Amino acid sequence: MIWSPYEQKYSLMLERIQNKFLRYIYLRLYGVYPFYPLSYPSLFVLGMVGYDRVAVRRELSVARYVFGVLRGRTSDAAVLGEVSLSVPDQYVWRRRRPPLLHVPCCRTNLLKYSPFVRALRTLNEVAQRVDLFHCTLSEFTLNCLFVICYGKKSDYIQK
């Protein structure tokens, strides 16, 4: 959660380190190193060991932290001071459903891909699926994983 690179080369570096570690864990669990001649793909090894990709775990941890601050489970006045609700007028409700949380306007890529802004975007997507102020942590985590892994609600509607 501390170091959250948005550049592709740094994310790939972290994924490579995790893949090497997961192959070692696979060796310890099943007694076979998933290398030549088996050549198991990394996603297969991830599933067999029970891990998620680094990017998914990072997005989930930041979103859960901001969710905890919103619900009052975590005390962080600086983060709570940055979170603001989006309050639209009545005309907007007729056109489309507005987001729950206000995402700040970003002029630089550093701010656009910062962990806090990404967490706000993820929380807005999850808020279209469940009520953030009433759902349990496990329900939030499942919906958040769905949004992070599969995309926006408009692509995958759950009824």
pTM, two decimals, is 0.74
Express each pLDDT in 18-57 by its tens digit.
Answer: 888 888 888 888 887 777 556 778 878 888 888 888 888 8
Q: What is the rounded distance in angstroms from the CA atom of residue 126 to the CA atom of residue 36?
A: 41
pLDDT for position 159: 39
Q: What is the rounded distance in angstroms from the CA atom of residue 113 to the CA atom of residue 117?
A: 7
Binned at pLDDT 50, 70 and 90, residue 157 comes out as very low
Contact 68, 74 (CB under 8 A): yes
pLDDT for position 1: 60
pLDDT for position 158: 44
Average pLDDT, the chain: 81
Instruction: Tell me the average pLDDT across 11-21.
Output: 87
CA neighbours closer than 13 Å in the CB half-sphere of residue 16 = 6
Express each pLDDT in 85-137 by its tens digit.
Answer: 877 666 655 566 778 888 888 898 888 888 889 899 999 888 888 888 888 99
Contact 59, 118 (CB under 8 A): yes
Instruction: Tell me the average pLDDT across 65-87.
Output: 86
CA distances from residue 13 to 17, 20, 48 in whole angstroms, order as listed: 6, 11, 22
CA distances from residue 40 to 25, 43, 56 in whole angstroms, order as listed: 14, 8, 21
Q: What is the rounded distance in angstroms from the CA atom of residue 109 to the CA atom of residue 14?
A: 20
